[in-house]
Amino acid sequence: MKRLAVVLAAGQGKRMKSKLYKVLHPVCGKPMVGHVLQTVEQVKSERTVVVVGHGAEAVRSYLGDAAEYVLQEQQLGTGHAVKQAKELIGQEEGSTIVICGDTPLVTPETLEGLLELHESNQAAVTILTAHMDNPKGYGRIIRSEKGDVLRIVEQKDCSPEEDAVCEINTGTYCFDNAKLFAALEKVTNQNAQQEYYLTDCISILKQSGDKVLGYQTEDEAESIGVNDRLALSQAEALMRERIARRHMLNGVTLIDPSSTYIGADVQIGSDTVIYPGTFLKGSTTVGSQCTLGPNSEIEDSSLADGVTVKYSVLCEAEVGAETSVGPYAYLRPGTKLGQNVKIGDFVEVKNAVIDDGSKVSHLSYIGDASVGKNVNVGCGAITVNYDGYNKSVTEIEDDAFIGSNVNLVAPVKVGKGAFVVAGSTITHSVAENDLAIARVRQENKPGYAEKIRSRAKAKKSSNSSSKPE
């Protein structure tokens, strides 16, 4: 049976009090609507329609061609929103998931269970429900003795018996597509809000003799819809806990899960150990047997097996196997490190390739450069890559030695096995196996330091005596 999805993402989200459109607020580094779209993709939705309204262009820009779009120009209720998709999918046969774009905690496993119950029973609609010990504010699910859903009763309309029911409506549904759009034609706005409610379809289908079922999720957290910053923080905490649990069950050690931040799309190999205060963000991938942290931030980067990162920041960097980074290093976009490379304390690398076995141990800047294998870069050495107008490239070939406090003024090339003496400013290329030295010859003036001190002492004495009493 064909599977379809309608994602409701047209609401303005006034309670967020934000210039950012509500469904684009991130949870664990990914916008909420991105979580929802990924979930429906994983249950093999063949066509997904996103209903947009406020912030339509921003949502389209983020999701791109991952969905089809319809515009709800006026927000006239959930039923009205779903009805906007009729032109695109109204003639399709199959099962249609209707889900809100601000429910990032719904899992593919739960949606699959909802779909299987719906399809195996040929139901007209199956409602995703949850058990809540304190269901205040939620619509209650009222079932028959056989377990069929009789109706949804909103909090304000509950009798004392109905108010005691702890099964609530999460706002996620699975409909027979043809029956959904037929029922929507019968929905009216004869209510206090003068809106067209999707929940009215439930009673319309029930009155027509169609089968209405409920599927209860095991995790009430999946019912959370994010409408304000408080709910956003709750969703963030719950998803962080879920992500941490998944990685730990897959063989990753988190020394303190509560102070470790892992994005939704991050991948981590087994036997990796992560220390507190570490942030793994974006599309970062981490190999096996790595040691990360404490207090490191790694974003959109790729780390091979056996990498160590301490107290450092990595952004859009590639790090080879058994390489160590830090403490207090900064790998900026375009950095590519080979195997067994050492990047030490207070080293910054930007848009540079550093090949296997090379070392940049402390207090250096390597930018717009190509560094070969087994190169040693001494303390305080830098590539001078910017002249105020253009950025130029520095090349350092295999087995070269760059002494401390060397300035390599690009464009310049240091040949294989060449030796650059400490303190040199290199403006011309150095040939293979040559030694380069570019500094003023040292001159010692005997006794001159004592003369300087005597002059300073005399000047100080003179200034003191000339002060008025």
pLDDT tens track for 84-106: 999 999 999 999 999 999 999 99
* pLDDT the model gives residue 467: 63
Q: What is the mean pLDDT of residues 138-160?
A: 86
At 176, is the secondary structure helix, strand, or coil?
strand
Question: Is 261 one of the annotated binding-site residues?
Answer: no
Q: Is 35 a residue of the active site?
A: no
**Does 10 appear as a known binding residue?**
yes
Higher pLDDT, 348 or 193: 348
pLDDT given for residue 240 in this prediction: 97
Q: Which region holds residue 55: left if phi is over 0, alpha if psi is between -120 and 50, else beta?
A: left
CATH number of 3-223: 3.90.550.10
For residues 142-149, average pLDDT: 84
Known binding residue 210? Answer is no
**How remote is the C-alpha of 368 from its chain's centroid?**
27
Q: Which of 25, 35, 80, 362 is catalytic?
A: 362
- pLDDT band of 346, cuts 50, 70, 90: very high
Q: Is the pLDDT of residue 469 over 60?
A: no
**Cα 386 to Cα 384: distance, rounded to the nearest angstrom:** 6
72 marked as binding residue: yes
Going 6 to 45 to 102 to 98, the CA torsion angle's sign is positive
pLDDT of residue 153: 86
Q: How far is CA 209 from the centre of its chain?
A: 46
Q: Does 318 carry a binding-site annotation?
A: no
Please tell me the predicted confidence (pLDDT) of residue 228. 95
Q: Dihedral sign, CA of 23, 29, 35, 38?
A: positive
Please check if 11 is assigned to a binding site: yes
Tell me: is residue 376 an annotated ligand-binding position.
yes
Residue 331 assigned as binding residue: no
Fold for domain 229-436? Answer: UDP N-Acetylglucosamine Acyltransferase; domain 1 (2.160.10)
211-262 pLDDT, tens per residue? 999 999 999 999 999 999 999 999 999 999 999 999 999 999 999 999 999 9
- 3-state percent breakdown (helix, strand, coil) of the chain, nearest 5: 25, 30, 45
Nearest to 309 by CA among 281, 345, 334, 333: 345
Min mean pLDDT across 68-82, 146-160, 344-358 is at 146-160
* d(C-alpha 54, C-alpha 50), whole Å: 13
Q: Could you report the per-residue pLDDT of 39-65, keeping only the tens digit for each?
A: 999 999 999 999 999 789 999 999 999
E strands, 207-358, are 212-217, 253-254, 261-262, 267-268, 273-274, 279-281, 285-286, 291-292, 297-299, 302-303, 308-309, 313-315, 318-319, 324-325, 330-331, 336-337, 342-345, 348-354
Per DSSP, the chain holds a count of helices (H) and strands (E) of 10, 39
pLDDT tier for residue 11 given thresholds of 50, 70 and 90: confident
Give the Cα separation of 83 and 115 in Å (integer): 21
Q: Is 417 annotated as a binding residue?
A: no
Is 439 a known ligand-binding residue? Answer: yes
Q: Residue 367: its pLDDT value, please?
A: 98
pLDDT in tens, 406-461: 999 999 999 999 999 999 999 999 999 999 999 888 899 999 999 989 998 898 88
350 annotated as belonging to a binding site for a ligand: yes
Q: Which long-range contacts (CB under 8 A, 24 or more apart) does 242-245 make?
A: 242/105, 243/28
Sorted by where each begins, the domain ranges of the chain are 3-223, 229-436
Residue 22 labelled as part of a binding site: yes
* Under 8 Å between Cβ of 155 and 139: yes
358 annotated ligand binder:
no
pTM (two decimals): 0.89
